[in-house]
Amino acid sequence: MSLKIYNTLTGKKEDFAPIKPGEVKIYTCGVTVYDYNHVGHGRSLIVFDMIRRYLRYLGYNVIFVRNFTDVDDKIINRAKNECLPFSVISDKFIKEYFDDAEKFRIEPADVEPRVTTHIPDIINFIQKLVDAGYAYEADGDVYFSVRKFKEYGKLSKRSIDELLAGARIEPGEKKKDPLDFALWKSAKAGEPYWESPWGKGRPGWHTECCAMIFKHLGETIDIHGGGLDLTFPHHENEIAQAEALTGKPFARYWIHNGLVTVNGQKMSKSLGNYITLKEIYSKYEPDILRLLVLSVHYRSPLDFSWDKMEETKKAYERLKNAIEEAEVLNKLPIEENFEGDLYNAVQKAQSGFYSAMSDDFNTPEALASLFGLVREMNILRDKAIKHGGISKKALESYKEAAKTLHDIGRDIFGLFDSLQPCVKQEEIKAKEKEESINEDLIQVLIEAREKARKDKQFAIADLIRDKLAEKGIILEDTPFGTKWKKA
Ligand SMILES: [Zn+2]
C-alpha cells in the first residue's frame, strides 16, 4: 500500500517517495521559547509525532529535526519586563517544553538545534546569499531581495502584486523594497548581539531554519512541516533563501497542520481562552488530548473545548476497557461449544487502519476502524459472559484483538503507555515488588561502599561499584551523596 501525502506546495495528494530509499528526513519548525506551550503547540507536536511514528512503522529510517527559536523579540521583551537576561527566559521555557513533551509522549527529535548555538552557521548562510547577490546589507541589517527569487509565492499561492498591496516599510527599516525581509538585524541598545561581517546583531527568524536544515539534514529534505500559520511568510521565505542559494528543491513535501480554536474562537490571552498543556494534564490524562487531536484530520481545523475532552475521555475508556477485559474473559471457564471468534474482525480493523493512515494520515478514519473492532470485542465479551464460558479459540482471538488495539495505539498513536495488556495483575504486582526489593538492595550496597571508602578500603568500594556496573547499575558520586541509575 503506497503512502499518499497532501503536499501544500502542489496542492495535491501525491505518492510518497523519499529521496534516498528507506530513509526520510523531516524538519519541523519548533517553538519560540518565551512562554508556556498551549494547545495549538500541542496539536502540532502530536501530529508530527504521529507522522514520524507512522513512517517508522512503514519501515523508514526517520531522521527528525525540530529547532528551538531561543532568541527573538518576544523573548527579549519578556526578559526586559522581568529584568532578566534573555537566556534565563529561553532556558526556562525550553525546560518547560521538555516537561510537556515528556508528559504527552512526544518523542525527542534526533537533533534539537537552538539558534544561539548556530550563529556561525547562520552568518555563513547569510554571507553566501549576499555573495550570490540575493541579499544586501543596509546600515547593519541584511535583507533578502524577494523580487530576485522568481518563484516567490509558490507555496502560499500569492502573487507579487497581491503581496505588494499589503507590504510596508516600517519606520526604522532600511530595506529597499517593501517585500524584502530581514536576514540579520543590527542590535539595538540593550539587546543581545553577536559579532558579524555586518556589525553587532542577531539573525532574523526566517533564516535559522534554513541554516539548521543545511547543517543537520542537507540541502534538500523529504518533508518540511509546521502549523498552517507558518506557510506565509515563514515557509515561503525559507524556500526563497534555500532555493535561491542551491537552485534545488528545498523540501519535497510540505505538510501543514490545521489551527486550533477554543470554543469556536481564536485563542488569545486577552480573551482568557489561552489553554496551556500544563492545564490540560492537570485535569486529564495526556492520552485524552492525544486522542482528541488524532480524532480530527490533521489538516482540518480543531476546535478545543473541555466538553470535547470529556467526550474523548469516554471514547478513550472504551478503548482501554476493551483491552483490559481480556483479563475478565481469561477467568471464564473454557466452553468448547461457544460459537464465534474475532479473527476476521481483527484483520478488517488492521486493513482499515492502515489504508486510512496511508491516505494522507487519515487518523479519524483509522480510529473508526479501531472502534469497529472494539464493538465486535464487546459483543463477544457479552456473549461469553451470558454463556458462562468461552472457547479457547474465541479467547485467543479476543487476546489478539486486545493486543492489536494496544500495539497500534502505543506504537503509532503514542497511547496506552501505562497499560499492559493481557498481563495478570498478580504478575504486575510481583514485578513491582521485585523492583522495590532490588532498589532496597542497591541502597544497602551504596551504604556499604560509603563505609568502605570512609575506612579507606578502596578496593572493596571499587569492587561494589564494578559489580553493580556489571548488573547495569551505574553509581554517580555527587556533592549530595551517591546516586544510582540504570545503564
Ligand atoms: Zn522554520
CA dihedral 322, 325, 329, 330 (to 10 degrees): 130
Same-domain pairing of 269 and 239: yes
Same-domain pairing of 94 and 196: yes
Final residue in a domain of this structure, among 379, 398, 423: 423
Same-domain pairing of 141 and 201: yes
Distance in Å, CA 463 to ligand 1 centroid: 51
State percent of the chain over pLDDT 70: 96
Check whether 471 has a pLDDT greater than 90.
no
- Distance set, CA 23 to CA 49, 66, 87, 205, 288 (Å): 17, 17, 35, 28, 31
Binding residue per annotation — 216?
no
Would residue 184 count as lying in a domain?
yes
Range of the structural domain that residue 469 is part of: 427-486
Grid cell for residue 464 = 561494589
Would residue 303 count as lying in a domain?
no
Would residue 109 count as lying in a domain?
yes
Q: What is the pLDDT of residues 181-232, one digit of tens each?
A: 999 999 999 899 999 999 999 999 999 999 999 999 999 999 999 999 999 9
Average pLDDT for 459-472: 90
Same-domain pairing of 431 and 402: no
Final residue in a domain of this structure, among 382, 405, 423: 423
Give the model's confidence band at 425: pLDDT under 50 very low, under 70 low, under 90 confident, else very high: very low
Would residue 295 count as lying in a domain?
no
Average pLDDT for 275-291: 96
Binding residue per annotation — 210?
no
369-375: long-range contacts at Cβ-Cβ below 8 A with a sequence spacing of 24 or more?
370/319, 370/405, 370/408, 370/409, 371/315, 371/318, 371/319, 372/345, 372/348, 373/322, 373/342, 373/345, 373/346, 373/348, 373/349, 373/401, 373/404, 373/405, 374/318, 374/319, 374/322, 374/405
Would residue 448 count as lying in a domain?
yes
Type and span of the H or E element at 223: strand 221-227
Binding residue per annotation — 29?
yes
Check whether 159 has a pLDDT greater than 70.
yes
Same-domain pairing of 336 and 436: no
Distance in Å, CA 30 to ligand 1 centroid: 7
Of 41-55, 289-303, 468-482, minimum mean pLDDT range = 468-482
Grid cell for residue 449 = 561502599
Check whether 72 has a pLDDT greater than 90.
yes
State percent of the chain over pLDDT 90: 84
Check whether 1 has a pLDDT greater than 90.
no
215 near 132, Cβ under 8 Å? no
Average pLDDT for 418-423: 55
Identity of the residue numbered 166: G
Final residue in a domain of this structure, among 380, 405, 423: 423
Type and span of the H or E element at 448: helix 425-454
- Distance set, CA 474 to CA 273, 435, 468, 480, 487 (Å): 46, 16, 7, 16, 6
Q: Would you state the pLDDT for residue 265?
A: 93
Question: What CA–CA distance (Å, rounded) separates 5 from 14?
Answer: 5
Same-domain pairing of 331 and 477: no
Distance in Å, CA 293 to ligand 1 centroid: 22
Would residue 296 count as lying in a domain?
no
Q: Would you state the pLDDT for residue 167?
A: 84
* β-sheet bridge partners, residue 185: 202
Burial grade of 284 (CB within 10 A; 0-12, 13-18, 19 or more): middle
Q: What is the pLDDT of residues 27-71, one digit of tens each?
A: 999 999 999 999 999 999 999 999 999 999 999 999 999 999 999
Tally of domains within the chain: 3
Distance in Å, CA 102 to ligand 1 centroid: 22
368 Cα distance to chain centroid: 23
Residue 188 belongs to a domain with what CATH number? 3.40.50.620
Same-domain pairing of 480 and 334: no
Sign of CA dihedral 39, 74, 8, 15: negative
Same-domain pairing of 269 and 341: no
Q: Would you state the pLDDT for residue 196?
A: 98
Grid cell for residue 77 = 521583551
Same-domain pairing of 132 and 236: yes
Spatial CA neighbour of 293 closest among 18, 14, 47: 47
Distance in Å, CA 160 to ligand 1 centroid: 22
Would residue 111 count as lying in a domain?
yes
Identity of the residue numbered 145: S
Check whether 74 has a pLDDT greater than 50.
yes
Give the model's confidence band at 177: pLDDT under 50 very low, under 70 low, under 90 confident, else very high: very high
Binding residue per annotation — 238?
yes
Q: What is the pLDDT of residues 92-110, one digit of tens each?
A: 999 999 999 999 999 999 9
Q: What is the pLDDT of residues 430-458, one digit of tens each?
A: 676 677 768 888 889 999 999 999 999 99
Binding residue per annotation — 83?
no
Give the model's confidence band at 112: pLDDT under 50 very low, under 70 low, under 90 confident, else very high: very high
Distance in Å, CA 8 to ligand 1 centroid: 15
Same-domain pairing of 135 and 219: yes
Same-domain pairing of 61 and 45: yes
Would residue 294 count as lying in a domain?
no
Same-domain pairing of 28 and 53: yes
Q: Would you state the pLDDT for residue 477?
A: 85
**Paired sense of beta strands 181-186 and 201-203, if any:** antiparallel
**Paired sense of beta strands 221-227 and 23-28, if any:** parallel
Check whether 423 has a pLDDT greater than 50.
no
Identity of the residue numbered 101: A
Check whether 155 has a pLDDT greater than 50.
yes
Q: What is the pLDDT of residues 384-399, one digit of tens each?
A: 999 999 999 999 999 9
Distance in Å, CA 312 to ligand 1 centroid: 32
Distance in Å, CA 29 to ligand 1 centroid: 4
142 near 123, Cβ under 8 Å? no
**Residue 231: helix, strand or coil by DSSP?**
helix
105 near 411, Cβ under 8 Å? no
Residue 324 belongs to a domain with what CATH number? 1.20.120
Question: What CA–CA distance (Å, rounded) separates 78 from 81?
Answer: 5
